[in-house]
Chain A
């Protein structure tokens, strides 16, 4: 098991390096001059030139890349002489649009996205997997058909539609909940839950529908395996056959999907955050894109990608923990 993890970690570091290069090139591929964007309203060519030197944009690309990576690990000082300013570790850049270090913006937005993703994840895993199991156990009966029918509807509804529908009815028309106004759960737990409830449900509907279908098909497939017949031939009760022999085997693909879906959301649930005015990573990214806030765009892309890569590693390790064949091959 240990060599397997070490090998996976090496692969991950390699992937992260490639990824940082791509993200960095993205920054430079944008058809605007970053130095130009740092210049205020009263812009003169002199200021632009000075900013270019200050931000290190006059250096060759590979030096810029190394500076950028160094900034993440040891922090960075922009400019020289009296006009310097410090960007502390981990420095992801400086947003001139907001006059703030990008790292600070990300650190502020990240918890919101995390609460959103983890809450929705918990909700959809519970609902989706239980529904899938009930459907598989009652294969072909009305329970199965009902669950599959409902999940098909849930799966076909786009997030922006469900989100807006919930917003319009639950909040605007019926006033069941106050208008969304994000508060930290440590400062105002009630407001936090009132704000997060609908976003959680919005995301969970889509994913729960998908996981119900996935779980059902996985369980049905597994129940047809030869080793399930063997388990029955041993005289195990249906309950044990299902829980011990079938569920663990059917679980593997669900773990893979779940890890990657959670990671995807941690990178920012753009639409949901936008609809419910949640100051998360998704909103940060959209805002940065509309304002040409290049360092912020790069940073949000990097953070989202890191989540996916780390989730991949976690999924691989979980996979090996569940399936011994992966461990040893």
Chain B
């Protein structure tokens, strides 16, 4: 048994729309080891959510096409029998979503929804499933569980709802949890609690986590490895320490520069100029070139004409950028990017 729980190779997702083909995910590859956390970082429309929905087999629309390879526990999921993938969902791989209010069914009680999650995958009595649900709710820190079991999602606070979602996702002891912006819809104080909870449960169950977020604070808190996505492509892929200390790609620099820092003497944040590209009409060269401050330093028109390859910077660090390594370190030390 290898240590890799999820291996994604050259994943491509396309949607056929009335306006043309949307290439939402382009050639994305990554691996997730058991018990580890991979953070996928990027703005809205960068393809981070779509790529994970594709992994879960949740892109059900007839207008989507998925190519590439997804090995879960060594088993190929792309093109697999949907029924086989369904049996894995909620059992060996689970997912939680951004807005727990809309993600929980408004018409069923918390207890019923959790019990259902148990009963889909194990042949146990309903009473047994219910007590497992109660146990799991206690574990995620829900107070007075017996009473909460009979309540509906709208009667709980946002943080409690996300705890319920986490309990529901982890109730069958999955090996992989995909968390799609799990703290975005929550208050800042609650965000920290939810992240702590995820960390504790990960330790207890040994669950691997794919954490989708645009919040680098969350990444620093939880991730072992980071994949930065932009315009549907992976633009940088490195261990979390390297992303913060030795980022190699101007987009990652931009993300880092836009984090507010209490210690910084700057009065203003540095936003990345412009907005993400439309996936219907991606630029020819580097997807980030139109917003890149440093493209003039690259010889010729390489940035405008040629999409850079994802090249190894060091053993476990890859980035896409036409800037040479010496140019990058010059820029980083000049601009004080990364905690050098």
Residue numbers of A with Cβ under 8 A of B are 140, 225-227, 229-237, 245, 248-249, 322-325, 328
Contact = CB atoms under 8 A, between A and B. Distances in A.
Nearest to A329: B154
Given A235-B88, A323-B106, A324-B152, A229 B120 contact: no
Contacts of A235: 86-91, 120-121
A140 B62 contact: yes
A249 B86 contact: no
Contact of A322 (B105, B107, B155): B107
B259 to A, nearest CB: 29
Closest 7 CB pairs of A and B: A235-B90, A226-B102, A234-B90, A235-B89, A227-B105, A233-B95, A324-B152
Interface of B: 56, 58, 60, 62, 86-91, 94-95, 97, 99, 102-107, 109, 116-117, 120-121, 152, 154-155, 165, 168-169
A246 to B, nearest CB: 10
A237 B82 CA distance: 10
Contacts of A322: 107
A229 B86 CA distance: 12
A233 B58 contact: yes
B90 A227 contact: no
B261 to A, nearest CB: 34
Contacts of B120: 234-236
Contacts of B99: 226
B115 to A, nearest CB: 11
A17 to B, nearest CB: 34
B58 A234 contact: no
27 contacts: A227-B105, A229-B58, A229-B97, A230-B97, A230-B104, A230-B168, A232-B58, A232-B60, A232-B86, A232-B89, A233-B58, A233-B95, A235-B86, A235-B89, A235-B90, A235-B91, A235-B121, A236-B86, A236-B90, A236-B116, A249-B107, A323-B107, A324-B106, A324-B109, A325-B106, A325-B154, A328-B155
Contacts of A325: 106, 152, 154
A229 B103 contact: yes
B107 to A, nearest CB: 6
A18 to B, nearest CB: 33
Contacts of A229: 58, 97, 103
A324 B107 contact: yes
Contact of A245 (B90, B105, B117): B105
Contacts of A323: 106-107
Nearest to A248: B107
B158 to A, nearest CB: 14
B103 A227 contact: yes
A249 B105 contact: yes
Contacts of A140: 62
A226 B165 CA distance: 12
B97 A226 contact: yes
Given A227-B104, A237-B86, 12 more contacts: A227-B102, A227-B105, A229-B97, A233-B89, A233-B90, A234-B89, A235-B87, A235-B90, A235-B121, A236-B90, A236-B120, A323-B106
A248 B113 CA distance: 14
A325 B97 CA distance: 22
Given A226-B102, A323-B106, A233 B116 contact: no
Contacts of A227: 102-106
A234 B104 CA distance: 11
A328 B151 CA distance: 11
Which residue, of A227, A237, A322, A328, has the highest number of chain B Cβ atoms within 10 A? A227
